[in-house]
Homo-oligomer: A and B are copies of this chain.
Amino acid sequence: MTSPSTLGRRGDAEVSREAIITAARRAFARQPYAAITLKAIAADAGVSAPLVLKYFGSKEQLFARVARFGDEIDRLLDAPLPDLGRHLLHALLDAHEQRRDPLIRVAFALQHGEHATLLRENFRDQVVARLRSRLTGPDAALRAELVLAHLLGLGVLRKVVHTEAISVAERDRIVDLCAPGLQHLLDGTV
């Protein structure tokens, strides 16, 4: 049996872990690997540096956790192929409303030097390969990457560059405009 107090403590731990991951994502998106300290991440997350070590072991292990593309990719791909173009856009824009973008972290590969190899490998294995496995016909891998290129660029303009029209546009308008091109790439019927 789980007592309420145990639940409460587990809840707190979960909140702290999430806060650390969020702070770490922010740090790894903005600074080169070498410039980042666990102390600064702890301060941003409102926890102590020893707690970060307790939960994640080391800066390297925390980076490994943050460099993973996980459940968010399940949600992105959770639609039958004929609807996948629209679904990908809706799921991405949903994620933006929760102040997340499931793809954007790979854009920061350049600033992490040799550590970015992991980021690139994860993107290839956990994102490109999964979308690619859904597609049939010629150039499936290339088509998967071209779809991801559009979604990634959308995230960069919307969440990093904040260009005007894309930031205020109604979601349905973005979906209506982009879905045909994405679906064309997904279907591969050129």
Q: 1/0 contact trace for A135-179 toward B, CB 8 Å?
A: 000010111111011111110110011111110010001101110
Provided the pairs A156-B156, A177-B190 are in contact, do residues A110 and B30 lie with their beta carbons within 8 angstroms? yes
Are A173 and B106 within 8 A (Cβ)? no
How far apart are the CA atoms of A143 and B139 in the complex, in Å? Answer: 27
Within 8 A of B (CB), among A102-146: 106-111, 120, 123-124, 128, 139, 141-146
Q: Which of A2-10, A14-22, A50-58, A180-188 contacts B (4 or more CB under 8 A)?
A: A180-188
Query: Of B108, B166, B176, B181, which contacts A181 at CB under 8 A?
Result: B181
Oligomer copy total:
2
Are B185 and A177 within 8 A (Cβ)? yes
User: Residues of B contacting A29 with CB < 8 Å?
Assistant: 110
State how many angstroms separate the Cβ of A66 from the closest Cβ of chain B.
15
Are A31 and B165 within 8 A (Cβ)? no
Query: Of B108, B160, B163, B185, which contacts A124 at CB under 8 A?
Result: B163
Q: Is A35 an interface residue (CB 8 A)?
A: yes
Provided the pairs A124-B164, A153-B154, A156-B152 are in contact, do residues A111 and B111 lie with their beta carbons within 8 angstroms? yes
A166 nearest in chain B by CB position: B145
State how many angstroms separate the Cβ of A187 from the closest Cβ of chain B.
11
